[in-house]
A and B are shown apart, each in its own frame.
Chain A
């Protein structure tokens, strides 16, 4: 029985082979007699791998240079020169890819998806600015990041925003970061790259939508300093956290502050903290009550956030092309509807509907857990920002806020103190 089966399958195989062979030879290549020489199939070379290394080296060089300008030379001109360089190289020449802001997603995808191997250059673009920030503050934001640099050169008439507005808008990047991580971890999409407002400008070539949001951001940044960096950039909030514990940071004064108030309004980002006098000690009971209240409010916010977002997990998952396709197939009615390109493509792939439904069910489950985590994360951020507002911090001098300050060095020339 086994033998018959094997012979049978052999015959079957040879027939299949023959069919395939016949198909490739539908019109066999002719034997030319006129001495015809065949042109070479064009295969334009990609950018050589060595240039990825050049990018990383230039990133390190630019970061070192700008850090030296900020910390040692204390020169705003140096910062401007470096930011023009990165604008030209990392922006217009490299056309904005890969950048540190987007590399967050590569890192997340690599962490969650064993099949994806992160290119070393993308990893370097993620890690190196973090390391510099850990030692010197956000010098990367000051002028190495092309997205920051392009907004900085447009800043002509800075207006200051109300404190509460800054705090509220400052929550957006956290939500954006959470969403970007959710979508990158599920291998759905890189939303940071998709909605990057400036990449179209760097390429002089983009869809209308990309140009429109880019132009809008540049217009806003004439008046409001770095709107993308402060109120959207998901990499910026990571750097913000790291910068708060940085070993060194830009100081407004080279020696000791004489509290002349000249720098008070110099910061376009409103990142200068004013001196705060020693307040009378709060009585112990109200302090304890506040502490307990906060201790209860943060977990409650996390649970509420998780529950709310998880209710929307199906909507969030619809960004995923597989889930979308499964949904479309489920509601497909061949009598009244015409096959979309997606369904047509799916039919030729030879997969069965059940396989697709199973796959999309797995993705949906990932989104369910992911959206609980996203909601809890957002709740945590809200709670911690609330807690931060109640915190009382004693301060003698004018100091840059280590988290918010991007070390653009504008305030330096307002300080009359000589070294």
Chain B
């Protein structure tokens, strides 16, 4: 008799638990999305503070500088490549802005130069991005490289980002290049 009663109470609780699990799942399934979300940063909000290089759980950071070639002016005096007030425009290490030497400068034709990012060396500090944005077209942009990103449930850089530039994006919008600078507040 006593055992039956305990059994009955257990069954009641079981059904209640089952119903609440199904309920929560049902409510959430109606507003869920199929694919995973990815973390990406919005270059229009980014202030190149340098925390992408240090906050990422992956070392070196999964955030890299990506060169949007369509926007590049192929300048000889590249604001992303050279330090400000540089004496001579050569590939000497003392002239370079990049702390890891991750930008490769090659001559194309007079007076144009091509700049490529060597991904293995880039640590995502954003110094070149700042330089290019200040003096050039802004064709160098920081982005999360999705083959390196481990897609943490909560991005460690997003937590530390001072300009709230990190957000979850759907799979189809994995990269968020800022094509024009019109939407940036000056």
What residues make up the interface of A, taking CB atoms closer than 8 Å to B?
17, 20-21, 23-24, 26-30, 32-34, 36, 38-47, 49, 52, 95, 97-98, 102-103, 105-107, 110-111, 114, 116-123, 126-127, 130-131, 134, 189-190, 193-194, 199-200, 203, 205-207, 210, 241-242, 244-247, 321, 340-342, 344-346, 348-350
Given contacts A36-B109, A41-B68, A207-B57, contact A49 B185 (CB under 8 A): no
8 A Cβ contacts from B17-62 to A: 17-18, 21, 24-25, 27-29, 31-38, 45, 47, 49, 51, 57-59
CB distance from A214 to the nearest CB of B (A): 13
Given contacts A43-B175, A341-B49, contact A97 B109 (CB under 8 A): no
8 nearest interchain CB pairs? Answer: A27-B73, A345-B163, A345-B162, A46-B146, A49-B35, A190-B154, A44-B147, A20-B182
A203 touches B57 (CB 8 A): yes
A203 touches B148 (CB 8 A): no
B146 touches A119 (CB 8 A): no
In the bound complex, CA of A186 to CA of B178 (Å): 30
Chain B residues within 8 Å of A97, by CB: 150-153
7 extra interchain contacts, Cβ-Cβ under 8 A, other than A49-B171, A245-B13?
Answer: A52-B35, A107-B28, A119-B32, A120-B29, A134-B17, A206-B57, A348-B47
In the bound complex, CA of A321 to CA of B161 (Å): 9
Chain B residues within 8 Å of A38, by CB: 69-70
A321 touches B159 (CB 8 A): yes
CB distance from A211 to the nearest CB of B (A): 11
B153 touches A193 (CB 8 A): yes
In the bound complex, CA of A400 to CA of B76 (Å): 75
CB distance from B111 to the nearest CB of A (A): 9
B147 touches A24 (CB 8 A): no
CB distance from A41 to the nearest CB of B (A): 5
CB distance from B183 to the nearest CB of A (A): 9
B145 touches A342 (CB 8 A): no
A130 touches B21 (CB 8 A): yes
B28 touches A345 (CB 8 A): no
Chain B residues within 8 Å of A199, by CB: 57
Select one of A29, A42, A117, A348 contacting B32, CB under 8 A: A117
Chain B residues within 8 Å of A26, by CB: 73, 136-137
In the bound complex, CA of A20 to CA of B47 (Å): 19
B33 touches A44 (CB 8 A): no
Chain B residues within 8 Å of A39, by CB: 69, 114, 116
CB distance from B122 to the nearest CB of A (A): 11
The answer to the question of B67 belonging to the interface, with a C-beta cut-off of 8 Å to chain A, is: yes
The answer to the question of B66 belonging to the interface, with a C-beta cut-off of 8 Å to chain A, is: yes
Given contacts A43-B174, A52-B36, contact A24 B109 (CB under 8 A): no
**Chain A residue nearest to B14 in the complex (CB):** A245
A121 touches B36 (CB 8 A): yes
**Chain B residue nearest to A130 in the complex (CB):** B21
What residues make up the interface of B, taking CB atoms closer than 8 Å to A?
10-11, 13-14, 17-18, 21, 24-25, 27-29, 31-38, 45, 47, 49, 51, 57-59, 66-75, 108-109, 112, 114, 116-117, 119, 136-137, 145-154, 156, 159, 161-164, 168, 171, 174-175, 177, 180-182, 185
Select one of B14, B33, B47, B75 contacting A344, CB under 8 A: B47
Select one of A27, A33, A46, A349 contacting B109, CB under 8 A: A33
In the bound complex, CA of A110 to CA of B25 (Å): 11
In the bound complex, CA of A23 to CA of B184 (Å): 11
Given contacts A242-B17, A345-B49, A346-B162, contact A30 B119 (CB under 8 A): no
In the bound complex, CA of A122 to CA of B18 (Å): 19
Show 20 A/B contacts (Cβ-Cβ < 8 Å), sorted by A: A24-B181, A26-B137, A27-B74, A33-B109, A36-B108, A36-B109, A39-B69, A43-B174, A44-B145, A97-B153, A98-B153, A107-B24, A117-B33, A120-B32, A120-B33, A126-B25, A246-B14, A344-B47, A345-B162, A349-B164
A134 touches B31 (CB 8 A): no
A20 touches B181 (CB 8 A): yes
CB distance from B76 to the nearest CB of A (A): 10
Given contacts A30-B73, A49-B171, A344-B162, contact A44 B146 (CB under 8 A): yes
**Chain A residue nearest to B108 in the complex (CB):** A36
Chain A residues within 8 Å of B164, by CB: 321, 345, 349
Chain A residues within 8 Å of B136, by CB: 26-27
In the bound complex, CA of A62 to CA of B32 (Å): 24
Select one of B24, B51, B150, B153 contacting A203, CB under 8 A: B150
Select one of A47, A106, A131, A244 contacting B151, CB under 8 A: A47
Select one of B13, B35, B69, B119 contacting A41, CB under 8 A: B69
Chain A residues within 8 Å of B47, by CB: 341, 344-345, 348
A41 touches B67 (CB 8 A): yes
B35 touches A119 (CB 8 A): yes
Q: Could you say which of A27, A30, A118, A131 has the most chain B C-beta atoms within 10 Å of its C-beta?
A: A27
B25 touches A118 (CB 8 A): no
CB distance from A24 to the nearest CB of B (A): 5
Q: Could you say which of B29, B136, B162 has the most chain A C-beta atoms within 10 Å of its C-beta?
A: B162
A205 touches B109 (CB 8 A): no
A27 touches B75 (CB 8 A): yes
**Chain B residue nearest to A203 in the complex (CB):** B150
